Structures are given as structure tokens and as C-alpha cells.
Amino acid sequence: AFCLGMMGIADEILLCDVKEQKAISECQDLNDAVMYMPNHVVYRVTDYAGLKDCDVIVNAVGDVSLCATGNRDDELENSVRQVADYVPKVMEAGFDGIFVTITNPCDVIAHLIAKLSGLPRGRVVGTGTLLDSSRLIHAISDQTGLDARGFFAFMMGEHGSAQMVPWSQVNFYGQTLEQMEEDPRFLFDKDKVQEKAIKGGWVTYQGKQCTEYGIASAAATLVRTIFHDEKRILPCSVELRGEYGEQDVFCGVPAVIGIHGVEEVLEYDLPDNEMKRLKECIDTIHRNIERGNRFLP
């Protein structure tokens, strides 16, 4: 909510939390910052029904302390129960916008919201590997000493420990890593860089028991991309319907994002070893969807 205001993305932001006082207190704190935001923003507290006219709902319900174990899947039961409780209420009230969801396990919850809401394909999108991709590009930039904006790179698969880097697609201003291998800055240990991207969240979590700036910036960017109909390609958790030979699953892959939400899913021609790894990630998500179904009322 802070990023949406500070980045000038939204002018009316409604806060809804099962802990009413928390919403009231956050609302006060956010309103105290409006004076210093680029545009006038109205922050208000609402109930579930009050969300019905939103263009976008950013779903962030959960209990982040449950993943203190170092495994986002430990949030599965609670996240499924909370989402299953409130999404029908929002839909009954008449919500007809787009869900952007961050709640972990992200791909499983995006899949669940799509099922529960019955919204058309594309109107539910998870941040998925958007945050992890930022971690990856930062790690590559750190390794090579070159500015992050020169790299094209992204994470694919589960927003979790099974995610992977499709190294065949990574390039530095159009030059593949193979073409750059004469340059010692590009001879880095790929496994280590991938590990940094996967484990970055835990470094943050360790000292503050949550992650905030990265995910908030990623989710707000996703909302801005929708509001401005940017048709920007972002790696995020989208429904696969035949892409990568998969059905009935959400997974982090690059997709075109615009005013209708997910407007196109990009299918990369991956080499066999990367496709195999992606399939393993997707199998993990399928298994977690099955596990999650057990907690549905």
C-alpha cells in the first residue's frame, strides 16, 4: 500500500485485514505519509464487501511467521484456509477486477484464487518469480560489477526452492553468456548465483522475520503495468493452458501484462536440461496444489 502511494500508482487504496485494529493503524500511518507522496492518495479501511469496486485486489493475507522454518510450504494450510474463507465473500459482493497475489506458497494460492473466484483466465496473477528475478539480476550484477539494467535474465518455475534459472536465455545486451566467456567477469559459478537468487529471501527474513521492500516493489510494479496497459513482459505466476505441455497449474514464466491482466504467456524453446528442471518445478507445484486441496472446507 505504501509503494502504491509512493510510486504514484494508485489514488484510492482500501485496506482490509482480519485484524481490524491493524488495518486502522496502518491506515493512519499511510495517511501520515500522503503529504509527501507524488500525488494525492486516499487510504481507507474497508471490509471484504467494500473491496468489490476495486480495479485490483492485492492479496497478501497470511501469517509469515509460519515460514520461519525456512520453507514457504509451511504456510500452505493457513493460506488455503484464509483465502478460501474470504475470496467467496469478495466475489459475492460483486468483485470483477484483477487479483494480484503474493501470499505463499504463491503459485498454489494463485491457482486457488482462480478456482474460487471463477474469474476469466488472466485476471489472477501471482508475483511468482518476479521478486526472485530481481534477486537474480542483482546477483549477476554484483558478480560481474556491471549495472543490473544491462542484463536480461529471469527465474522460472515455483516461487520456492524448486525454481530455476534458464541460463540459455540470459544475455548481456544481446550477447549470450557463451559469447561473453572470453571476459573473465562472466566466468562465474552459475549454481552459486542461482543459489543467491533462491535464498535471498531467507537472508532478509533472518534479521527481520519478514520481507517487505522487494516484494512490495514487485507487486506495485505489476499493478502499475496493469493500470498503464504497458504490455510489459514480466516473469510472474500465470495459469498454463498447454504452454510447456502443462495444464491446470500456475507457474512463474514470462508473460505479457496489460489492462486485462495476463494477456499472453510466452513459451521459450528451452534446451532439454532446462525443460527437465522446469518440469520438476511444475511437478512440485502440482503436488502442493493437491496437498492444499485437503484444507479446503
Ligand X SMILES: NC(=O)c1ccc[n+]([C@@H]2O[C@H](COP(=O)([O-])OP(=O)(O)OC[C@H]3O[C@@H](n4cnc5c(N)ncnc54)[C@H](O)[C@@H]3O)[C@@H](O)[C@H]2O)c1
Give binding residues for NAD(+) as ranges. Answer: 17, 102-104
> Using alpha carbons only, what angle is made at residue 197 by residues 196 and 202, rounded to the nearest 5 degrees?
75
Nearer residue to ligand X within complex by CB, 111 or 159? 159
Residue 275 within binding range of ligand X, rule CB under 6 A? no
User: What are the φ/ψ torsions at residue 52 (nearest 5 degrees)?
Assistant: -60, -30
223 touches 56 (CB < 8 A): yes
Give the residue, chosen from 45, 103, 258, 286, that forms a contact with ligand X under the rule CB under 6 A.
103
Residue 86 within binding range of ligand X, rule CB under 6 A? yes
Catalytic residue among 40, 138, 159, 228: 159
Residue 95 within binding range of ligand X, rule CB under 6 A? no
Stretch that binds ligand X, among 34-42, 77-85, 168-176, 247-255 (CB under 6 A): 77-85
User: What are the φ/ψ torsions at residue 170 (nearest 5 degrees)?
Assistant: -70, 135
286 given a catalytic annotation: no
Q: Considering Cα of 97, then 226, then 260, then 285, what sign does the dihedral take?
A: negative
**β-strand pairing of 56-59 with 98-101:** parallel
> Per-residue x/- marks for ligand X, 141-160, CB under 6 A?
------------------x-
- Smallest distance from ligand X to CB 221, Å: 12
Residue 121 within binding range of ligand X, rule CB under 6 A? no
CB-based burial label for 262 (10 Å; 0-12, 13-18, 19+): buried
39 touches 4 (CB < 8 A): no
Where does this chain bind ligand X (CB under 6 A)? Answer: 16-19, 22, 60-64, 67, 75, 79, 82, 85-86, 102-104, 106, 127, 131, 159, 210-211, 215
Catalytic residues: 159
